[in-house]
């Protein structure tokens, strides 16, 4: 992504309340706010425009992050229909200041966003079906640029449903790859802004340590990966069937070691230097 300057306006001075966001040299604009200020959000003039909106929260059945992605020719009229959905606690919508988004444009963006969110697997997508629309090549390219700008703004507003995991930025080198070894088993990964990604094919011990009983979160995390088929028993070890992002090096190391572990010492680079040493400045 290209560099950008983001301007955020806090309507009430509180970063969790009603706010708007705009990128320099972009016609798009985002409006965001908590469900508790739903009426204030819809009182904004921007809500009368066509655009794409997001309802975010926690799915009560799975306790996972959840998102609903929609489009409307009038944001204000459409989102009122979602008050019966109880999972969401925040709303964000995007419009264009030049009012150049047509019905076909917003349907295309909605469809692409649903696909991206499902691929990222960071949030449960609450849409029952996909959407989308065919566009002429030039319009399609314009909307892809619009999508890129939206994806720059959304994480700043607290929505990471579209951030891809397991994808290298192209800037990583062999020196960036870290390893976590135990009992002849090896796992590899690299740091990300959100934590660390353990790469597909990495190994983890089959049996948990006694310390795991003192740290239930280790067992919960491992069992979840096993239930989802991400950790499978193969040749005397658990093997990762896909890239997995953990919130911290210690969280990843604990899953690999089967018990509490210090990620700053468990992860080393190709020269054997511990992560703790690499981060010392």
Tens-digit pLDDT profile for residues 150-203 = 999 999 999 999 988 754 544 555 668 999 999 999 999 999 888 899 999 999
Tens-digit pLDDT profile for residues 45-57 = 999 999 999 999 9
Average pLDDT, the chain: 90
Tens-digit pLDDT profile for residues 37-47 = 999 999 999 99
Tens-digit pLDDT profile for residues 87-125 = 999 999 999 998 889 999 999 999 999 999 999 988 999
Q: Which residues pair with 74 in a beta bridge?
A: none
Domain parsing of the chain, residue ranges: 6-157, 174-279
Nearest of 56, 72, 59, 69 to residue 116 by alpha carbon: 69
Q: What is the pTM of this model?
A: 0.78
10 Å Cβ neighbour count for 78? 17
Q: Report whether pLDDT(136) > 70.
A: yes
């Amino acid at each position: 992504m290209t560099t950008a300057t983001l301007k955020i306006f806090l309507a009430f001075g509180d970063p969790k309340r009603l706010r708007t966001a705009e990128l320099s040299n972009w016609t798009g604009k985002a409006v965001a706010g908590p469900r508790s200020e739903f009426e204030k959000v819809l009182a904004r003039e921007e809500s009368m425009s066509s655009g794409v909106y997001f309802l975010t929260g926690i799915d009560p059945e799975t306790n996972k992050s959840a998102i609903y992605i929609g489009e409307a020719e009038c944001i204000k009229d459409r989102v009122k229909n979602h008050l019966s959905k109880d999972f969401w606690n925040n709303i964000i919508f995007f419009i264009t200041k030049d009012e150049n988004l047509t019905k076909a444009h917003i349907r295309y963006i909605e469809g692409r966003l649903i696909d991206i969110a499902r691929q990222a697997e960071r949030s449960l997508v609450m849409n029952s079906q996909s959407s989308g629309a065919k566009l002429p090549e030039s319009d399609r390219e314009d909307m892809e640029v619009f999508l890129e700008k939206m994806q720059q703004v959304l994480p700043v507003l607290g929505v990471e449903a579209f951030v891809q995991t397991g994808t290298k930025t192209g800037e990583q080198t062999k020196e960036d790859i870290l390893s976590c070894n135990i009992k002849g088993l090896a796992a590899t990964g690299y740091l990300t802004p959100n934590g660390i990604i353990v790469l597909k094919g990495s190994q983890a011990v089959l049996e948990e340590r006694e310390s795991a009983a003192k740290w239930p979160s280790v067992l919960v995390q491992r069992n979840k990966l096993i239930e989802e088929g991400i950790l499978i028993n193969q040749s005397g070890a658990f093997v990762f069937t896909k890239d997995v992002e953990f919130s911290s090096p210690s969280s990843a190391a604990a899953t690999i070691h089967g018990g509490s572990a210090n990620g700053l010492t468990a992860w080393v680079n190709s020269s054997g230097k511990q992560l703790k040493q690499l981060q010392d400045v």
